[in-house]
Structure 1
Amino acid sequence: MAIHDLGSIVGAHRLFAGLDKEFLDLVTGCAMNARFAEGEYLFREGDPADQIFLIREGQVGLEISAPDKGRLTFMTAGPDEVIGLSWLVPPYRWTYDAHAHSDVRAIALDAACLRQKCEANPALGYDVMKRFMPVVVDRLHATRLQMLDVYGNRG
């Protein structure tokens, strides 16, 4: 098995592909490997949103609790996807649960570390925001389509 350094792994993820080497080094300074066993929670609703996860292997279900329906998975994320947008907006708390549907390997980025580096280097902050905004927009679009599917077929 080939051994890769964190910088090459972070740089290979679609979120940070093509990131300037100087910026990649700054982002990688906030990174660490993370593993979760099937059934384990990456985070729970209401907890501090203190990490961003770059999924490398496995499937993660994003879940909410619905009255009279229990736990509902509203999205499943897999390899090369990002989990964790709540780190961007105060009060930096998770608004859903993330549950490993299989064994998961990921890169965890320390959110406070990344926010601090983005504040200190506005060019980095702008580049990071440009990379995260399409993810936010895609999630909003997917939610809209899901809402149409759920509510659109009413007589």
Structure 2
Amino acid sequence: MSALGIYCADCGTECERITGREAGAREPDLIDAQVWACTVCPEAWAPCAEDGTPVGLPAGAQTRNARAMLREREVERLVGEALRDVPNGRTIAEERVAAFLAHALRLPASEAAIDLLNLEWCRHAWRVLYGASYAEVTKHAQTYRPRKAA
């Protein structure tokens, strides 16, 4: 059973919903849960949300690890910089970093979410965020903020 528009981030094959055990998931909470999995790539999967949609695009271990490292080392570093000045500003900092990344990658914000990136895009995102500071992210947010309708 396949859903329209859910494709493997690694090979582009349409995915189907199966159990985590069938997909090769090793996390105890995912073994009996539903996941979206690629029918071609071994162990390429994404967790299934309560509404049946995937949490990100299904991907193999290498892509999932790249996404985790990108989020852990670069996105959290930038958000941490923001939280030093505004301790309760996590939400806005995450939104600003996401918008900064989408603009730098020249992707729509809906396609630049880390859980939607393939390995190649993760590498591009790493290069963008690696040398960036939160001051640059803030400057971007101030420069490209949406205008209010008159």
TM bracket, shorter-chain basis? under 0.3
Bigger relative CO (Cα 8 Å, ≥ 6 apart) = 1
Could you tell me the TM-score, scaled by structure 1's length? 0.24
Indicate the structure with greater strand content. Answer: 1
Could you tell me the TM-score, scaled by structure 2's length? 0.24
Indicate the structure with greater helix content. Answer: 2
